[in-house]
Structure 1
Amino acid sequence: MAFPSPPSILSQRNLTAAELSGDDLTPAQLRLFAWMHLARRADNRILELFRQGLIKGTVTGGQGNEGLIVPLALLLDKATDVVSFTHRDFGGHLIWSGHLCEHLNQYFANAASPTQAREGNIHHGDPANRSLPMISHLGAMLSNVVGVTDAQRRAGHQAVGLCLFGDGGSSTGDIHETLNLASLLSLPILFVIENNHYAYSTPLDEQFNQSTPLWHRAAGYGIEGRHIDATDALSAADALADAVATVRTSGRPLLVEAKTLRLRGHAAYDTCDYLKPGESDGFFAADSLPKLRAHLVENGQTDAVAALETELNAFVESCIQHSLGVARPTPDMAKLTAEVFAPTAAPLPWEATPAETTELNFAQAINAALRKVLTERSESLILGQDIATYGGAFKVTDGLLNDFGRSRVFNTPLAESSCTGYAVGLALAGHRPIEEFQFSDFVTEAATQITLNAATYHFRSGAKVPLVLRMPCGGGLTFGSFHSQELESMLLSMPGIKALYPSTPQDAFNAVLAAVEDDNPVLLFEHKMLYRGAKGAVSWDGNYRKVWEPRHVAAGDYATVVTYGQMVGLATQAAAYFRDEYDYSFDIFDLRALSPLRLDAIKASLARTHRLIVLHEGRRSHGFGAELVAQLTEEHFFDLEAPPLRIASLDMPVPFAPELEAAYRPSVDSIIEKIADWIG
């Protein structure tokens, strides 16, 4: 069934500075009014429908914010600019793209919603048109906008990025990191603070020191700051037009604090009993929508305003009836689980080089693969702390800056969250970024960006995030608790993330290529003890995608051993001992890929050996080995001739002294001892 036809004035989704300063201002003012009225009417009706039980979850309205978001959205270039609207910005969604019915379908969570009913309420966007869907972690979307905007500029577009956040969100670290990053990279980002005086129920004087206005913080980042009053839509439109033009022309960030309003509380369930007596009356008295309406009436537009209101109200009602008539989604669990990841991409057209075999250590193999990626894939770039001139903490990126330049290989500030979010934005816009974490331990600073943002993007919006995150990990080098973690179990408990953990130089080379061409976020775990370990033969391998499957390391019939990373070498040594001393042979598998797990060959082995040993360096409790045991024994429990054996590190922080660390993590001797006790 076709959508109801919108009023003709809604076909005009743009506004120019010239229209705001010409001889006849009426058309521009009526356009502002029409979109503001539409947003208000739809927001109010959505609230009513929620209270009637027709909309689930909750709703957060933009009533009072229209004087800011409507002129902003109209002033931006829908063909090139980048936005991420938030809770109060329904008017922005309406203007940017789509029919009102599509947006209402999102609220009704019906089968035709933009997110296929997988996301709630205003948590949607239009990634294909650079409107990035928000997540509830305040501030996390800003760095994504920075990344997509940088990609637009790299593609030759004079784009502007719009980063919106509230007075409450202004306290989050992500926002400060992103302001600094945008200033450092000199990117054209318009940062707008929607200051409506309350973070949920917390007033301004309980959020930050009132002696310094929020927009004054711009000076700390070396950028310009401004303040506007968005309770007057006409003056706000003039000020915002100038701000957008300034950013577009200068190519530099600009911070604007906008005085705006929240007329209906934080969300539908908000009782607003925290407001001071009469405070709400003051908000309604300052409301920008009736002010604009009164201005138009005073200037002889009574009939035009009344006609617009009648037409728009009827349009809203017809759209509501249309969306109410759309069927509820039918759960298709096979489709839902299949779409957690973006589909497997076709192999990239790699050149069959290096054709000759070279003896390389693990770090050199990764360097060679990164060099190949940068040479053959113009959309790829490498970023991270100290990876440029210095070549990275472990010199894995050594020499790449000299050969590929700072636009392709560049340092980032110590701001893992915003820099990862920036890389997510680059990936959303068609780049294939590779980010190096100095140590995998520091990934906890970017956990939201990886596990709740990048990892869920495809499921909730259909967008691809081809991002590689390199993780130097593991102990054995006496680096202590904050530089030696194995975090795969923590990270991979969240859906939507792929992970590779190679153990040989050739697999490391192959893993880089396989990860780069994947359309999902991929964690590439690199054990630090392997970097300068034994060299191995490395050459072009046309079967590089086999790295997504386990490697059969050694054949045996006594037990099936499953391991990965640096533990592969230890498992091989321990197996040699039992072969030589007791004539026991083990079927050893190197997982290589931790997500998705492909265990068919290992299950077949277990069905033959009837015994299972799982070896990994992470801690035993809640460790990755527990998941392996569970998946491998579900089908073969009654075939087992012994309980599964899990060998892992102790349940404690990583100790520093060599003697303590050696006792903490598996060694060849401790592996042999545990297997011997298990054999009995």
Structure 2
Amino acid sequence: MASTTNFPAPPAILNERDLRAADFSAPGAAPSALQPFSPSALSSPALLRIYAWMQLARLTDNRILDLFRQGLIKGTVTGGQGHEGLVVPLALLADKTTDVISFTHRGLGGHLIWSQHLCTHLNQYFANSESPTQAREGNVHRGDPANRSLPMVSHLGAMASNVTGCTDAQRRAGKNAVGIAIFGEGASSTGDIHETLNLASLLNIPVLFVIENNRYAYSTPYEEECAPGAALWQRAAGYGIEGFALDGTNPELAAATLAAALEKVRATSRPMLVEASVVRLRGHAAYDTCDYYPPGESERIAAADPLPKFRARLAGAGHAAQLDAIDAELSAYLETCVKISLTVPRPASDAAPMQRDIFAPAAEPMPWKPAIELADNSPLTMAQAINAALRKILTERPESLILGQDIGTYGGPFKVTEHLLRDFGRPRVMNVPLAESACTGFTIGLALGGRRPIEEFQFADFSTEAVTQITQNAATYRFRSGAQVPLVLRFPCGGGITLGSFHSQELESLFTAFPGLKALYPSNPQDAFNAILAAYEDNNPVLVFEHKGLYRRGKSPITWDSNYRDIWQPAHLRAGDFATFVSYGEMTHIAAETCDYFTAEYERNLDLFDLRCLAPLNLDSIRESLSRTHRLIVLHEGRRSHGFGAELVAQLTEELFFSLEAPPLRIASLDMPVPFAPELEHVFRPTKDSVIEKITAWMG
């Protein structure tokens, strides 16, 4: 968000946001084995630059804490006091024009260095009208996605895969980028971290994974997080990558060691794991009293504070006067910025801009060739139609790629991606390991970096492994940071083919409950082809639900449809005036057969709609129908309680309730896990006979 306030010019020493080869007296070439540069190789100007940024970060963190205690800043203030000796050198060493990073809630110093003015960061903490997140996010949940600083989420460990994907996107664009994924020792226990370390190693993606080990995950001490004697950096060996430990309370040593590490990662395109020992001076957050510390712990931590020790070394080297001048100038600059940010008005209490920004603006149609390249003009199954759509995308859109488990030589569990690896090669069609969360986070990073990825899940059920990435990262990026996340997630879903509870679920009511996700659910080959194209060119995360029972349920001709974007609207399949009938997915076919039955047997014509798009819902045509028929039937395969049909009934009847001539009828599956045996599944989910029976009773 552009500022309307005039920001003060920063002190001259803050105009330098980098450490480069010239700052080292003997930088050398990338070593074959990690050989840190000598800390003494750093020039005096470089050391003073490191100090200035560390001091600014410390002063700002402390001032923010004061403002929080005064009630002028809200939320959870989590300071980085004690982490500056690691974060500042790391941010200064990164190439801000090409590298990718995600700081933790201890990384204010890194944010200050990476981009934007101090006032911008203060506006974020004040959540005022010039906050870079438009006051939609609080203090630490910020970044600068346009400059590849990816904003963190509170689900710790979830950002490492985003960094890995965005770094891969940079490399695919020909940029010699490195990713820097920072996380605490607490987050190092999460599955996302281990999945991502394996993925980065497997794919040779140059990411420096940095563990900030301050020995406390909130109140849990390190001894209760890891086995006795365990060293986190040694886990690198399990992933076939290099790892080492680092004293993050020594800025000179950190700068020299990290310079060598980044140089090697950049040159070899191999990831690396660093465990940096740091200290947390202020507890987990402003409200943390640290009463869980054992005796003497506070004193131990204070004695390890990197800033006063670093200052003393610089003063002893003859820089005392310069340090005093820097301190005075930074203090005055900070107070000027605080006063300016305090004058910025509060955000307007207006829901319209927030609702507008849940989704990215509509994209222009892509310049597709108005043809479909097929071996012949034979009708296609829905699986073949989706394959044809994916083939068209890979052929015509160079930024596209497809990834998923078993999608390569095997062609996917339902052969939807058959022969795509053969025809387009591994950089475009990627088998990935069994790691749904990391792979989805990786997909998000690719999208943030300018690619347009398509991820296939083996079964929709397995998407529950990636719920955080889908609903907390992908779905919210636009709203909280303005970034676009154009990706497609393909969900083979639904029952009726005897696969049991873990391979048959309908999850649309789960995912459509989260704002920021779009969802399509085609019911025939032509719609499936159109849905893949429409989803691909959308600038938002789009879920495409593909019912497994429809993959090979008959064939139909596929043609180039210039109106493929109509898939975002309901399709009117049958005309009638007795009742409005709404369905989607495989149930659309049962609904159509049911309509034919009632026309033939009862001379009752039902006005049938195939919903097709589940989010965002556009029910205008269906609402118009209901205003004529005054009766509503909703049929879907998902469970009835808390199912998607309840939302349809609510939205369609809240304005037309008093015109209804009968209570709305919801037909859905039973409220239980999906049973396995065909006889049991038959009574679990709607069938033509059970639907006819329920409608007949309702009519009576």
User: What is the TM-score normalised by the length of structure 1?
Assistant: 0.99
1:626-641 equivalences in 2 (<5 Å):
626-641=646-661
Aligned mate of 1:352, from 370, 391, 394: 370
Note if contact 1:340-1:459 (Cα within 8 Å) is conserved in structure 2.
yes
C-alpha deviations, 1:290-341, integer Å up to 9, x for none?
1111011101111100000000010000000010010000022111111100
2:9: which partner in 1? 5
- 1:296 matches 2:300: no
> In the TM superposition, what is the alpha-carbon distance from 1:354 to its structure 2 partner?
2.1
2:615: which partner in 1? 595
Letter in 2 for 1:256: V
User: Aligned pair in 2 of structure 1 residues 20, 280: CA closer, same or farther (>3 Å)?
Assistant: farther
C-alpha deviations, 1:453-476, integer Å up to 9, x for none?
100000000000001000000000
Secondary structure in structure 1 of the residue aligned to 2:95 = coil
1:107: which partner in 2? 125
- 1:494 matches 2:514: yes
Letter in 1 for 2:518: K
1:178: which partner in 2? 196
Letter in 2 for 1:12: E
> In the TM superposition, what is the alpha-carbon distance from 1:399 to its structure 2 partner?
0.7
Aligned mate of 2:44, from 7, 26, 30: 26
> Whole-Å Cα distance in 1 between the matches of residues 117 and 428 of structure 2?
39
User: Aligned pair in 2 of structure 1 residues 191, 84: CA closer, same or farther (>3 Å)?
Assistant: same
- 1:424 matches 2:428: no
Secondary structure in structure 2 of the residue aligned to 1:613 = strand
Q: CA RMSD in A?
A: 1.0
C-alpha deviations, 1:207-226, integer Å up to 9, x for none?
01122200000000000110
1:605: which partner in 2? 625
1:612-631 equivalences in 2 (<5 Å):
612-631=632-651
Aligned residues: 680
> Whole-Å Cα distance in 2 between the matches of residues 129 and 338 of structure 1?
24
> In the TM superposition, what is the alpha-carbon distance from 1:21 to its structure 2 partner?
3.5
> Whole-Å Cα distance in 2 between the matches of residues 119 and 24 of structure 1?
38
- 1:117 matches 2:121: no
1:233: which partner in 2? 251
Note if contact 1:204-1:210 (Cα within 8 Å) is conserved in structure 2.
no
1:545-624 equivalences in 2 (<5 Å):
545-624=565-644
> Whole-Å Cα distance in 1 between the matches of residues 23 and 372 of structure 2?
59
> Whole-Å Cα distance in 1 between the matches of residues 75 and 482 of structure 2?
22
Note if contact 2:18-2:92 (Cα within 8 Å) is conserved in structure 1.
yes
> Whole-Å Cα distance in 2 between the matches of residues 358 and 41 of structure 1?
71
- 1:468 matches 2:488: yes
1:337: which partner in 2? 355
2:20: which partner in 1? 16
1:285: which partner in 2? 303
1:71-470 equivalences in 2 (<5 Å):
71-354=89-372, 358-470=378-490
C-alpha deviations, 1:381-414, integer Å up to 9, x for none?
0000000110000000001011100000010111
1:43: which partner in 2? 61
2:682: which partner in 1? 662
> In the TM superposition, what is the alpha-carbon distance from 1:283 to its structure 2 partner?
1.3
> Whole-Å Cα distance in 2 between the matches of residues 286 and 640 of structure 1?
72
Letter in 1 for 2:213: N
> Whole-Å Cα distance in 1 between the matches of residues 692 and 192 of structure 2?
47
User: How much identity, in percent, do the aligned residues show?
Assistant: 68
> In the TM superposition, what is the alpha-carbon distance from 1:284 to its structure 2 partner?
1.4
> Whole-Å Cα distance in 2 between the matches of residues 497 and 292 of structure 1?
48
Letter in 2 for 1:133: P
> In the TM superposition, what is the alpha-carbon distance from 1:49 to its structure 2 partner?
0.4
Gaps of 5+ in 2: 27-40
Letter in 1 for 2:654: E
C-alpha deviations, 1:398-450, integer Å up to 9, x for none?
01011100000010111000000000000011111000000000000000000
C-alpha deviations, 1:553-581, integer Å up to 9, x for none?
00011100000000011001111111111
Secondary structure in structure 1 of the residue aligned to 2:479 = helix
> In the TM superposition, what is the alpha-carbon distance from 1:358 to its structure 2 partner?
4.4
> In the TM superposition, what is the alpha-carbon distance from 1:16 to its structure 2 partner?
2.2
Q: Which 10-residue stretch deviates more, 34-43 or 205-214? A: 205-214
Secondary structure in structure 1 of the residue aligned to 2:545 = strand
Note if contact 1:355-1:539 (Cα within 8 Å) is conserved in structure 2.
no
Letter in 1 for 2:544: L
Note if contact 1:578-1:584 (Cα within 8 Å) is conserved in structure 2.
yes
Letter in 2 for 1:14: D
> In the TM superposition, what is the alpha-carbon distance from 1:136 to its structure 2 partner?
0.2
Moved beyond 3 Å, runs of 4+:
20-24, 355-358
> In the TM superposition, what is the alpha-carbon distance from 1:370 to its structure 2 partner?
0.4
Q: Which 10-residue stretch deviates more, 544-553 or 354-363? A: 354-363
Note if contact 2:42-2:252 (Cα within 8 Å) is conserved in structure 1.
no
> Whole-Å Cα distance in 2 between the matches of residues 18 and 138 of structure 1?
36
> Whole-Å Cα distance in 1 between the matches of residues 155 and 405 of structure 2?
24
C-alpha deviations, 1:213-259, integer Å up to 9, x for none?
00000000000110010111111111111111111111100000000
Secondary structure in structure 1 of the residue aligned to 2:24 = helix
> In the TM superposition, what is the alpha-carbon distance from 1:275 to its structure 2 partner?
1.0
Letter in 1 for 2:113: I
> In the TM superposition, what is the alpha-carbon distance from 1:24 to its structure 2 partner?
7.2
Secondary structure in structure 2 of the residue aligned to 1:540 = coil
> Whole-Å Cα distance in 2 between the matches of residues 238 and 395 of structure 1?
51
Letter in 2 for 1:575: C
User: Aligned pair in 2 of structure 1 residues 635, 358: CA closer, same or farther (>3 Å)?
Assistant: farther
Aligned mate of 2:664, from 627, 635, 644: 644
User: What is the TM-score normalised by the length of structure 2?
Assistant: 0.96
2:34: which partner in 1? none
> Whole-Å Cα distance in 2 between the matches of residues 101 and 185 of structure 1?
40
Secondary structure in structure 2 of the residue aligned to 1:360 = coil
Q: Which 10-residue stretch deviates more, 581-590 or 280-289? A: 280-289
2:540: which partner in 1? 520
